[in-house]
Structures are given as C-alpha cells and as structure tokens.
Structure 1
Amino acid sequence: MSASDTKKAVAAVLVRRADPEQDMQHVDEIHRIVNAAYRSDAGWTHETHLIKEERITKEGVKDVLHDKVNLLLLAFDSETNQLLGTIQLDPAEFYPDFGEYEKDGHATSYLETMPKENQIFLGLISVDPLQQSRGIGGKLVREGLRYAKETMGRKQAVVYVLFQRTELAEWYKRIGFVDYGEKVPYPDQARTKQEDVHFTVLRMAL
C-alpha cells in the first residue's frame, strides 16, 4: 500500500466510544477480532506462543461493553461500518496491582511520582488481522490517548507489553512511549507457555 493509500485508509477509520445498547450486536465480532489479534498467528501482535486460552470470552466482551469505569473504544470503517479494532482505557487507580518483578534480583532506579488518578492504562488493543497494515492500530492508540487527555483529564498513559514482544515495544516507542526499565510479572503464570513471562512497562506523557 502506497503512502497516499495508507493516508486514505486511516482517514476512513472512525473511532468512537462503545455503546452497550448500540454495540451489543458486535459482541461476536469483537470476540473474534480480539482473539484473532492476541491468540492466533494471523496477526503480528499475537501472543499465542506465550499465553494459553482465549484473551477474552463472549461474556467478557459483554461485561466490557457495560463497564462504565474502563471505557472501550471501537474502530469502524466509516464507509462500510465494518468493525476494525478495539482499545480499552483503564483508569490507573482501579487497575490491578501485578506485584513486583523480582527475577534474578531485578531492580529499576525509576520511581513514578505521577498520582494514579492522572494515569490511564491502555488495554485490549486489537486490530482485525485481515485489516492490519492500514494504520488502524496507530489511529486507535492516538484517539485513545486524545480521549484520555481531553475527556478523562489524564496526564500519562501506561501500557504493559510482554517482555518477549520486543517488536511491539518498539512500535509503541515510535508513537512516543518510553521504557524506563520497569517490569511487572504476568499475573497468571498458569496460563503461560514459557518460563519468566513478564511485562515491560512503557509510559507516555499526555
């Protein structure tokens, strides 16, 4: 796809907040897209070689749609109304604490002083593998960051990336995220397929 075609494709993507009444019809498609992005080898962002089981169930999708704290944004093709991807904005003060990463005595000198009430976690970031390489993921993240800043009043965005996914961490860095050397453990080691699966923490000022 040429640069001009990519710009046109990105311009055709509409990102909006999910509505539980309007978007309940999309439960099956959200379920398919999220699990295709995370749990199949169809998309370059997948984790299937690292994590077992579905990323989210259909019941989980319904819960996310009704969640009034952790807000879901959806991306659509503005011309066809086809669902393209998802991103969830999780206020840090309600985000679970995964504990300290202590493997091999790991320690970081970085200390985050930003109050949690000013931070937003980005999660459930997925793009239909059939629609990737159109700039949809970048637009989803940028629109999520804008919403978090302008509507939710957040001053810092945080994303957890599996340590083994270095190419994904580099993608976030190109957007503006920074790696300060922080790590956190994966919360459910029973679901991992390898030893020492953990997260790299990336942060970005808004």
Structure 2
Amino acid sequence: MHTAPLTFRIAAPSDPDVSNVLTLVRSAYRGDASRAGWTTEADLLADERIDHAGVLAKIAAPDGVILMAHDETGALASCCELLKRPDGKLAYFGLFAVDPTRQAGGIGRQVLAEAERYAKQELGVERMEMSVIWTRDELIAWYVRRGYTKTEETRPFPYEHLVNGKALRDDLYFSMLVKDL
C-alpha cells in the first residue's frame, strides 16, 4: 500500500497546531470518534486522555518533543511524543495518535519509523520503550511486527491522572515494549 509522504516537524508552545494535537489525540484514543479507527480505548476509559496544559507540558519538556506529521494538504495526520530518559540511552515513545478515519493506511508505520530515526539521530538514544494497556493485544502485536519486544515489566495505570472522566475497568496496567534502534 502506498501512502503519500508526510511532512514532520516539532511542536512549539506557541504553535497554532497545539489545539489540533489535543483534538487529534482525544479523537484517536477515547470517545465515539475513536471508534472509527482500530486503536480505540473507548471501551476501557471514558475520559479525554489529555488536556491543553498536558500537551503544553509535553512540548516544553526539556528532554522531550512532540513530533507532528502533516499530510500533503497540510492537515495534521498524526503525532507522537518522544522523551529522552535520564540515562541518555533510552527514549520513551507515547501519545501516538493517527487520525482514526485514516488508520490502517500506512501513516502509523511512517510516523513510527520517523520517531525511531529522530530518537536515534537527534536524541542520541540506543533504545526506545513504550507502554501499552495490557488488554490491547492487537496493538501490541502491531508493535511486535515492527521489531518491538514485549517485556515482562509492567507499570501501574495512572487512574489518578484521568482527565474529565473515569476508567471503565479497575484492572488496567501497562505492558512495556522495547526496541533497540
């Protein structure tokens, strides 16, 4: 499948796209709009995933960036967060969102590849890690097909940081995945 090339850039706090990042992330993760794609968490969580202040905090993080991917029309098609860990050898990959109406079309593969390139070449890290809610077998399998390994490590789900909503289950936690770059 051929997907048109994307244009990548790093979000800045004054960027007019900050609101678009917020809208994209919310639409891809939770709520009815997320059901248009295959990565929805709407059956697990009834909240907004992140707020405007949270997006700004990620953009302003001294060792992190939000990478934005625009399509050929200039529309924001996807985004992700990269955060260099204190050891300097590992980056966290998160806040990955692809427009739910455009999922399963190759955009996610392009963005993940660019995120890995950026993490290795610009952040100077050797490995990338991510956390995925343990129930998301299909999503975990997608990452495994792209070279990630599901580790035995788990991390608690941050129930206390839900944004304007609630969890629909009380047994959530994160499975950790890693890849050498």
1:73 to 61, 67, 83: 67
Tell me the secondary structure at the aligned position of residue 159 of structure 1: strand
Counterpart Cα distance in 2 of 1:12 and 1:119: 27
| Residue ranges of structure 2 left out of the alignment (5+ in a row) | none
1:124 to 77, 83, 95: 95
**TM-score, normalised relative to structure 1:** 0.78
**TM-score, normalised relative to structure 2:** 0.88
Q: Rate the CA distance shift 1:184–1:67 in 2: closer, same or farther, 3 A.
A: closer
Counterpart Cα distance in 1 of 2:135 and 2:82: 23
Q: Which residue of 2 aligns with 1:26?
A: 17
2:75 to 70, 76, 82: 82
1:37 paired to 2:37: no
Q: Which residue of 1 aligns with 2:45?
A: 51
Q: Which residue of 1 aligns with 2:129?
A: 158
| Structure with the largest fraction of helix | 1
Counterpart Cα distance in 2 of 1:33 and 1:142: 20
Aligned 8 A contact 2:151 2:175 in 1? no
1:204 paired to 2:175: no
1:194 to 169, 173, 179: 169
Deviation, 1:63, is 3.1
Deviation, 1:28, is 2.5
Superposition pairs for residues 137-156 of structure 1, below 5 Å? 137-156=108-127
Task: Figure out how many residues of one structure are paired with residues of the other and give that number.
Answer: 174
| Structure with the largest fraction of strand | 2
Counterpart Cα distance in 2 of 1:19 and 1:181: 35
Q: Which residue of 2 aligns with 1:133?
A: 104
Q: Which structure is larger by alpha-carbon Rg, 1 or 2?
A: 1
Counterpart Cα distance in 2 of 1:71 and 1:18: 7
